[in-house]
A and B are shown apart, each in its own frame.
Chain A
Amino acid sequence: MSDAILLEKELKTLLIHHLKLEDIKEEDILSEAPLFGDGLGLDSIDALELGLLLQTQYGIQIQENSDKNDQYFSSVKALAEFVKNNRQK
């Protein structure tokens, strides 16, 4: 299994655990599906939690007012790419 896929799996497990996504299994989350809104259906509180999670888990502090933010959080796949390139730990 490639590193990218492993990281995606890891992120899915983290999301399920930290955002308390009940009744959702790791394999239920599609890597390409949107995190917010229609896809995984995360809400604004989840968004805030996710921000904190990236900081504690990977030492990433998201840049304020970056236009690319939306893109990073568009799907698990995009998020994994973002984590790969920006992780401090």
Chain B
Amino acid sequence: MSQQWNQIPERGFLKVNQAALWVFRLVGKKISSFLIWPVLWGYFLTDRQGRKSAGLFLARVHEFTQGQNCLKNKPGIFDSLRLYREFSLQILDRIDFWLDRDRKIKIKWHGDEHLNRLIEQNQGAVFLSAHIGNIDIIRTYAEKNATKNIKVLMFTQNAPQALGIFGKLKLNYHKNLYQINQVTPNTIFELKSMINNGDMLGIMADRITAGSGKRTSRVSFLGKSAAFPQGPFILSGMLECPVFLIFGLKSKTDEYEIHIKPFSDQIQFGEDKTLEITNYIQKYSSQLEAFCCTFPFQWFNFYDFWEENSL
């Protein structure tokens, strides 16, 4: 792999994040969303790799749906720009949430009965998600409203950097982030005790990381083979609990949809573990794919997701 996503500096976005935050505090969200244009253009024009991969993603969606979704025509550079625009607007929404000014943002639930039932039965569960839409909306919402602990597992290397900035600004950014810097044999018991306690564990399952090593599976995603990490699925299996998918997608200005879908009562592996893991990953990929087709401009993996030599 020429450059792995976690080696791609989140420099740009971090700077956009930071700049947006200050502007936001000064002038509010509405004016910020206009002021962010020049920053956005600047970033869009200099981020060649991100721009290319955004274009590739939209083209794949277009091919896959054959123009049956909102991407009627072959996507061009303005569609890629729209994806960037969406990303920056969602950053503003995130800040809105962080700054506790979220009363305007409405949440529409799809499948919240699953969550309610889990809470009622004090049953812990794993929620697999992806870098599509706004996971922070779910996290922040959960932190404020849920009676249960919803923790998002984080193994990424970019995280400390992001936490650093938001930590400095005294925002409650990382309250329910469960950061694991070093995995030890003991970690599994920490996680199991959370699940036994009825907590919900969020895991991002779309990006391979340097730590994925050989543990990746290539499955079909939007019609082409892409590598996904096996780790989240193996871990879910070890935790012996129900597994759901969760995505927070923006439906319109100041409105998000949170989708919860049952994935597996319990992930189990038999004799051919590798094959079975891959089957689970294919199932995940297919469901993720469906959301990508409906919300193509909310795909925030700015690297070539189908990279051939990715491990």
Say which size band chain B's interface belongs to: 10 to 19
Contacts between the two chains (Cβ within 8 Å), count: 53
Residues of B within 8 A of A20 (CB): 273
Please pick, from B186, B188, B211, B213, the residue contacting A66 in the complex, using a CB distance under 8 A. Answer: B186
Closest to A50 in B: B185
Please tell me if A70 contacts chain B, counting CB pairs below 8 Å.
Answer: yes
How far, in angstroms, from A50 to B186 measured CA to CA in the complex? 9
Question: Are B215 and A45 touching (Cβ within 8 A)?
Answer: yes
Question: Are A48 and B185 touching (Cβ within 8 A)?
Answer: yes
Residues of B within 8 A of A70 (CB): 184
Residues of A within 8 A of B193 (CB): 64
How far, in angstroms, from A61 to B211 measured CA to CA in the complex? 26
Please tell me if A52 contacts chain B, counting CB pairs below 8 Å.
Answer: yes
Please tell me if A10 contacts chain B, counting CB pairs below 8 Å.
Answer: no
Question: Are A44 and B189 touching (Cβ within 8 A)?
Answer: no
Closest to B193 in A: A64
Question: Are B238 and A69 touching (Cβ within 8 A)?
Answer: no
Question: Are A48 and B213 touching (Cβ within 8 A)?
Answer: no
How distant is A89 from chain B, measured CB to nearest CB, in Å? Answer: 18
Question: Are B211 and A69 touching (Cβ within 8 A)?
Answer: no
A residues adjacent to B (C-beta < 8 A): 20, 43-45, 47-52, 54, 61-66, 69-70, 73
B residues adjacent to A (C-beta < 8 A): 155, 183-190, 193, 211, 213, 215, 230-231, 234-235, 238, 273
